Amino acid sequence: MGWGLRNRMSRIIRPETGRSVMLAVDHGYFMGPTTGLRDLGKAVKDLLPYTDTLMLSRGMLRNCIANTTSTPIVLRASGGTSIIGKELLHEGITMTVKNAVRLNAAGVAFSICVGTDFERNTILGLSRLIDEAEEYGMPVVAVTAVGKGLGKDERYLSLSSRIAAEHGAHIVKTYYCEGFDKVIESCPVPVVMAGGQKLPESEALEMTYNAIHGGAVGVDMGRNIFQSEDPVAMIQAVREVVHKNATPKEGLQVFDELRARKPLENE
Ligand code: 5RP
């Protein structure tokens, strides 16, 4: 791994703890305006101080995030289908790595769809992106897509994560499952956990704790933060679990305390 690639990796995964709280707000690239992200700039502004790395699309970066930000950015570099189309997540490369460098990105992200009719296209797309990214010292985060008809169990997530690593992904983003430690055991690159659908805060913190203690280096979480009743309190609670080894109970305490400190609307 060259210096540039290592440097970018250390912007994504904090060297102080070897962990990362990535905030994923890239949902619009195939879902359009998503609950909690209709005004992306507003949704993200107060979360940035607690975000190790922000994952989003280049269009939202350019239009909604101040170019003075010091938060490292991972840019979504795959897409091409939508939630109303026939082939959800049949994705190809949507931007050049050169453009990601111009936007000062710390990494790029690409989804693979193992087990679907178009798995070949997505795996070859990932490999092509990695070839190009390595010329620029740019880490690639491979996202193991889940969806209708795709498993979300240890066998499926181990298979997808390992395939991503075999093709050269520098970081794998996958979902939590029973037996998550087995996913980690067979994947030789750092793994971050995607949050998935919104859960009660206590469950999301429990899942975060289990993923970290199962061997994940952090989270790349979206809806469980920005759709929380109090996103700023939630991201801080997640940080306690990820960076300070807090238990889910301690994390929830942080969430409740921060939430309680909020002034009432009429104050
Ligand atoms: C979709 C993605 C999203 O960024 C991802 O799903 C993370 O967000 P959430 O925690 O809401 O699931 O990579 O492919």
Q: Which atom of ligand 1 is nearest to the CA of 109?
A: 13
Whether residue 221 has its Cβ less than 6 Å from ligand 1: yes
Low-confidence ranges of the chain (pLDDT < 70): 149, 262-267
Interval 160-219: pLDDT, tens = 999 999 999 999 999 999 999 999 999 999 999 999 999 999 999 999 999 999 999 999
Give pTM, 2 decimals: 0.95
Q: Are 110 and 126 in contact (CB under 8 A)?
A: yes
Find the 218 Cα to ligand 1 centroid distance in Å. 14
Please identify every residue annotated as catalytic: 173
Q: Is 24 in the pocket of ligand 1 (CB under 6 A)?
A: yes
Q: Which domains are present in the chain?
A: 3-228 (3.20.20.70)
Phi–psi pair at 217, nearest 5 degrees: -90, 0
What pLDDT was estimated at residue 263? Answer: 64
Q: Among the atoms of ligand 1, which is closest to the Cα of residue 227?
A: 11
Is residue 184 helix, strand or coil? Answer: helix
Ligand 1 center from residue 264 Cα (angstroms): 32
Q: Is residue 102 classed exposed, middle or buried when 0-12, 13-18 and 19+ CB atoms within 10 A define those classes?
A: exposed
Angle at 164 between CA 85 and CA 18, to 5 degrees: 115
Q: Is the CB of 126 under 6 A from ligand 1?
A: no
Whole-number Å distance between alpha carbons of 247 and 239? 11
